[in-house]
Copies of this chain bind each other. A is one copy, B any other.
Amino acid sequence: MSKNTQPLSDIEIARNATMQPIQDIADKLEIPSDHILNYGKHRAKISREYVEAQSDRPNGKLILVAGITPTAAGEGKTTTSVGMGDGLSRIGKKVAICLREPSLGPCFGMKGGAAGGGYSQVVPMEEINLHFNGDFHAIGAAHNLLSAMIDNHIYWGNELELDCRKVTWGRVMDMNDRSLRQLTVGLGGVFNGYPRTDHFDITVASEVMAIFCLANDLKDLQERLGNIIVGTTRDGKDIYARDIKAVGAMTALLKDAIQPNLVQTMEGTPCFIHGGPFANIAHGCNSVIATKTALKHADYVITEAGFGADLGAEKFFDIKMRKSGLKPDAAVIVATIRALKIHGGAEQDKLGEENLKALEDGFVNLKRHVSNTRKFGVPVMVALNSFSADTQAERDLLLGLCEQAGISAVESDHWARGGEGAEALSQAVVDMIDNEPANFEFLYNAQLSLWGKTRTIAQELYGAEDIIADKKVRNQFEALEAKHGDLPICIAKTPLSFSTDPLLKGAPSGHVVPIREVRLSAGAGFVVVVCGDIMTMPGLPRKPAAESIYVREDGEIEGLF
């Protein structure tokens, strides 16, 4: 293949983009320049004072982009969010996109960048992927300050009588580092504290991250931080972050970070990228503050939820909407023919071949996600994210299957053509919002028991027959019920299947969801129900992406993606 026909990599496409000064992007949202805090030429934060003063303005329309059950083939939720933002801009709408911030860890592992792809990207991509405006570092510092103050409290006499075997608050680092998953700290003698078992999570798994993303303002943030439970006394009394007196300093560390970040797509559409909690042990959406800021300044706001809609959209609706008081106006479910073929039994290495049978069989996955999402009273549009290998017969088949099932679906070619490729999709979503007003409802009532809420999710969305747990876990449910029974549920399970078995593709039914553990995130305000192995500190692969990254003589970074 000659150099001319070699497709450009994401980083090459991003580097060729002409960026507008960030003030020009803010002008599109009519945010006064006094309140734009520049971070370099092409990144900004919007001042907290300004953000908090906009609460009386009306909201634009909120559009959630979610996906089918993820496969190795990828679906392109971020790319579609970006493409639709550009598409809406092109058809004359005032629009803002809200995305999560990427984590450093996966960047050096194998995941690659998290700012879209092809001609639907957010820029400046290198800066967004490396440090960005420092939010994750601030969150890590706030988390670890609390950790240090806990051990310091124990060291100086332990007035609160924390049981050092029952300190649940670990430490965090924004790195994929398996060696830190389990460790013994405080070794080396009296001057180094009390030896005890500890663990590091990756920063995105920190409860501080979840709190940061659910807080409505700085005051709310400070209150929620105080509610973090760091461990218990020997007789089981909860000890809170506020007991450790860490909360004011943690808030001071987060004061600037809490201001939403503004960047742009390659076509100049405003994009807020702010916060990025794990989508398993947390809720997996960008910050409430960014979403609210976007809604106050744009007529259409596109945002994204992690994993498939069974996890991402459910948490977006039942956790983020509940905590923020916001309501969604529409949902877009992203699907690809390649991924649906995997759900229908096709093999990864044969996705280049037409396979109508597999596509038809795999369609059940999409259908389930659409019907799940409709249960929240939200109108749904399917975005068929085009790949060049899709055949005409496959595309006709999928669109036909959607039509038969009463599902609106539009093809979108934004990866290759940017906003132009997403115009039809964007117009269809606008029309849907005009013609089909949402009647949003949470899936479950907050007054249901924690067990009842969990069962509702499993039965209604996962197609499960029931949930099960051993006596110890059921006792945990019971113990939490008294004091925290009104909290929403955050399910941590494999994203790779509706069931808890990652190999069960398509739309399995009648399975049972075994619950392994329950964890309280009292600061974030949800109960994490763990179904399966959940990794909160990834490791690096045999050949980490980091080995190929370098800085060229001219200062450009190579190998990042």
Residues of A within 8 A of B (CB): 37-41, 45, 48-49, 104, 108, 126-127, 130-131, 134, 137-138, 140-141, 144-145, 147-149, 151-152, 155-156, 171, 173-188, 191-194, 197-198, 218-219, 222, 245-249, 251-253, 255-256, 539-540, 542, 544, 546-551, 553, 555, 557, 559-560
Contact = CB atoms under 8 A, between A and B. Distances in A.
B255 A557 contact: yes
Given A49-B555, A180-B185, A183-B184, A137 B131 contact: yes
28 contacts: A37-B40, A48-B555, A131-B138, A131-B141, A141-B175, A145-B175, A148-B179, A149-B546, A152-B540, A155-B178, A156-B542, A178-B186, A179-B186, A179-B192, A179-B194, A180-B185, A181-B192, A182-B187, A182-B192, A183-B184, A193-B539, A219-B553, A248-B549, A248-B551, A249-B547, A252-B551, A255-B551, A255-B557
A144 to B, nearest CB: 5
Contacts of A37: 38-41
Contacts of A548: 248
Contact of A38 (B40, B192, B193): B40
Nearest to A107: B249
B104 A141 contact: yes
Nearest to A221: B551
A557 B252 contact: yes
Nearest to A152: B540
A253 B540 contact: no
Given A185-B183, A546-B149, A141 B174 contact: yes
A25 to B, nearest CB: 15
A543 to B, nearest CB: 8
A344 B421 CA distance: 80
A171 B246 CA distance: 24
Closest 7 CB pairs of A and B: A248-B550, A182-B188, A137-B137, A38-B38, A249-B546, A148-B177, A151-B179
B151 A178 contact: yes
Contacts of A218: 551, 555
Contact of A256 (B127, B141, B173): B127
A249 B543 CA distance: 13
A147 B222 CA distance: 33
B41 A145 contact: no
A530 to B, nearest CB: 17
Contacts of A197: 187
A352 to B, nearest CB: 31
A158 B197 CA distance: 27
Given A131-B138, A187-B183, A555 B144 contact: no
Contacts of A147: 177
Nearest to A559: B248
A248 B45 CA distance: 29
A538 to B, nearest CB: 10
A149 B545 CA distance: 11
B177 A555 contact: no
A314 to B, nearest CB: 29
A312 B427 CA distance: 66
Given A137-B134, A248-B551, A152 B544 contact: yes
A66 B131 CA distance: 34
Contacts of A246: 546-547
A472 to B, nearest CB: 21
Instruction: Tell me which of A134, A145, A550 has the highest count of chain B C-beta atoms within 10 A of its own C-beta.
Output: A145
Contacts of A192: 178-179, 181-182
Nearest to A196: B179
Given A175-B148, A181-B188, A539-B155, A252 B555 contact: no
A246 B49 CA distance: 41
Given A131-B253, A134-B137, 13 more contacts: A108-B145, A108-B148, A130-B256, A131-B134, A131-B137, A137-B141, A145-B175, A152-B177, A183-B184, A184-B184, A246-B547, A248-B548, A251-B550
Contacts of A151: 177-179
A148 B200 CA distance: 13
Contacts of A182: 186-188, 192
Given A41-B37, A152-B539, A186-B179, A252 B560 contact: yes
A141 B141 CA distance: 12
Contact of A108 (B183, B249, B544, B549): B249
A300 B515 CA distance: 68
Contacts of A126: 252
Contacts of A553: 219
A147 to B, nearest CB: 7
A154 to B, nearest CB: 9
A440 B148 CA distance: 45
Nearest to A244: B547
Nearest to A245: B547
Contacts of A177: 144, 147-148, 151-152
A195 to B, nearest CB: 9
Contacts of A551: 218, 222, 248, 251-252, 255
